[in-house]
A and B are shown apart, each in its own frame.
Chain A
Amino acid sequence: MSVKQISVFLENKPGTLNAMTNVLTKHNVDLRALSLAETTDFGIARFIVGNTLETVTILKEEGYISSLTPVIAAEIADKPGALNEVLQILTDNQINVEYMYASLGSKNGTAYMIFRVQDYKKAAAALESAHVRVLSQEDLAEI
């Protein structure tokens, strides 16, 4: 089980991220989770939204280059040690995390971790068998 993350190419200079969020706001796109990876002259904005395909179309029309990447969205308790537990499961299953970021979510006491791994099916199965809830595309509305 995985969700689709949108990755957008951004130049690493003042205002580019803001210009993109302006575009998303203008089209009432609600960002569920967002992270930014950058080198000295370019960056990649990675985020999860409710309506992925529509958002990609909007970005394309506005001249942005983007791609879709399957990632794992796991629900964790918003308390110390919760992230560590999840990471331990992945380590035990020899799953390497390329990158990850968090989203607080709208439910009290819950947070969501977004993981990018090579074999997302294996990762999702490992987490689920350890009773960690892995979200599907349909579940995203609750983030």
Chain B
Amino acid sequence: MERYYQPEIECASREAMIEIQNEKLVKQVKHVWDNVPYCRKKMEDAGVTPDDIKSIDDLHKLPFLSKADLRDAYPYGLLGTPLKDCVRIQSTSGTTGKRVVAFYTQHDVDLWEECCARAIVAAGGTNEDVCQVSYGYGLFTGGPGLNGGSHKVGCLTIPTSSGNTERQIMFIMDLSATILCCTPSYAAYLGESMKEMGLGPDDIPLKAGIFGAEAWSEEMRQDIQNTLGIKAYDIYGLTELSGPGVAFECSAQNGMHINEDHFIAEIIDPETGEVLPDGTQGELVFTSLDKEAFPLLRYRTRDVCTLTREKCSCGRTHVKMAKPKGRTDDMLIIRGVNVFPSQIETVLLNKGYPANYQIIVDRVNNSDTLDVLVEMTQEMFTDNLGEIAARQKDLVEGLKSMLGIKAKVSLVAPKSIARSEGKAVRVIDKRKI
């Protein structure tokens, strides 16, 4: 039977949820207007005041907040409460260079941990479980978030943090850990290591895993589930919003429920900023409804995905988001399919290749071609032609599973991929449209 951490919220009717969101949004907009001059100025420039925001139907009137705003306002410009009320920061390296530093009051930490607790219960966790948190602890939100959630659920928490595989396996086996929280690539690595030690899925006490903080494919989920003998659940989050737990997967394992009582999600056209209907692919935008210290309104994540309100078999009513496909800024359209370099990089890393690659897109006989060049490495090289060809084929299949279209993989000489200022040129689009 499906269990919920907070059934009254997670299974609330749409009408009840809209009521909660309306009330919180009006309050949050006032909070931002009164306490965050940087955002007040943006609202004034857009000709909006708190009086214009009466319900979530007015959300679209608010100006967007972007990564550039976070950079401009660094470090205290978006702070919504006096520093004396803040109890924590978490930080992540921003994609645009400057670090993101997010602030939390105790209330903010509590709501974040509550979101993680919902994810753990959705993965089958109860106070009978032993939850090993192998995400890094520290500035990275993975460790602290799931650690807090695990405490709230009442699991016996093993805070191993990341690394030291031998010790990770020792704790899993000796203390009979039942839930594992880490990145999917580390879960795959742990699985392989345990397999090498002769431990099969039936020998491993784990029953569920909560894996996030990087992109992973359905194929990888199957692999992890098979080697560890578990159900593997995806979890999504951003430091800017709190951390992991903004959205999480349920027993249906086909999309992540967004914690809508805390975060409103919108999908917009990244070019025009226009809000798109559910089911349409676009850029994910979040409004945090009750964060005090870092109250972001209409924050553009640059993640591309879709939302669905189709009824979920788990009984939760919250909107579901698909796995983000990648970043808006580097999307390619190949044979009508959106392809992100990050997806290709994920497949390479998941399969143990270094990230020395180049994507060449061309158009031959009116059809797009996708060629992925991968630099040969000393570790990959063997005198056995068949072995190399088999690895190449495995990579082609992995890419097909991640991208949905076929790519050609070419193994090239080391250091042959053009580099500019030391960084490899990732994408060459030769199509003349």
Contacts and interface: CB of A to CB of B under 8 A. Distances in A.
Nearest to A38: B385
Interface in A51-105: 63-67, 69, 98
A10 B413 contact: yes
A39 B385 contact: yes
Given A39-B389, A42-B376, A63 B383 contact: no
Size category, B interface: 10 to 19
Contact of B413 (A37, A63, A69): A63
B388 A42 contact: yes
A116 B385 CA distance: 13
Contacts of A5: 383
Given A42-B376, A65-B377, A65-B378, A11 B385 contact: no
B383 A65 contact: no
A9 interface: yes
Nearest to A99: B385
Interface in A4-25: 5, 7, 9-11, 16
Nearest to B408: A41
A126 interface: no
B345 to A, nearest CB: 21
Contact of A65 (B376, B384, B385): B376
Nearest to A98: B384
Contacts of A44: 383, 385
Contact of B412 (A11, A66, A69): A11
A67 B377 contact: no
Contacts of A66: 381
Contacts of B412: 11, 42
A40 to B, nearest CB: 9
Contacts of A67: 381-383
Name the residue in A5, A44, A46 with the highest tally of chain B Cβ atoms < 10 Å from its Cβ: A44
Size category, A interface: 20 to 34
A52 to B, nearest CB: 14
A38 B376 CA distance: 15
A37 B387 CA distance: 13
A67 to B, nearest CB: 6
Interface in A115-140: 116
A64 B414 CA distance: 7
B410 interface: yes
A6 to B, nearest CB: 9
B55 interface: no
B413 A9 contact: yes
Nearest to A8: B381
B383 A46 contact: yes
Contacts of B381: 7, 9, 65-67
B359 to A, nearest CB: 16
B411 interface: yes
A41 B396 CA distance: 14
A98 B386 CA distance: 11
Contacts of A42: 376, 388, 410-412
B399 to A, nearest CB: 16
Given A9-B376, A42-B376, A63 B414 contact: yes
Contact of A69 (B383, B389, B411): B383
B93 interface: no
Interface in B360-398: 376-378, 381-385, 388-389
Name the residue in A9, A64, A98, A116 with the highest tally of chain B Cβ atoms < 10 Å from its Cβ: A9
Contact of A11 (B378, B382, B384, B413): B413
B226 interface: no
Interface of A: 5, 7, 9-11, 16, 37-39, 41-42, 44, 46, 63-67, 69, 98, 116
- 6 closest A-B pairs by beta carbon, nearest first, are A7-B383, A69-B383, A42-B411, A65-B381, A41-B410, A9-B376
Interface of B: 376-378, 381-385, 388-389, 410-416
9 contacts: A7-B381, A7-B383, A10-B413, A11-B416, A44-B383, A44-B385, A65-B414, A66-B381, A67-B382
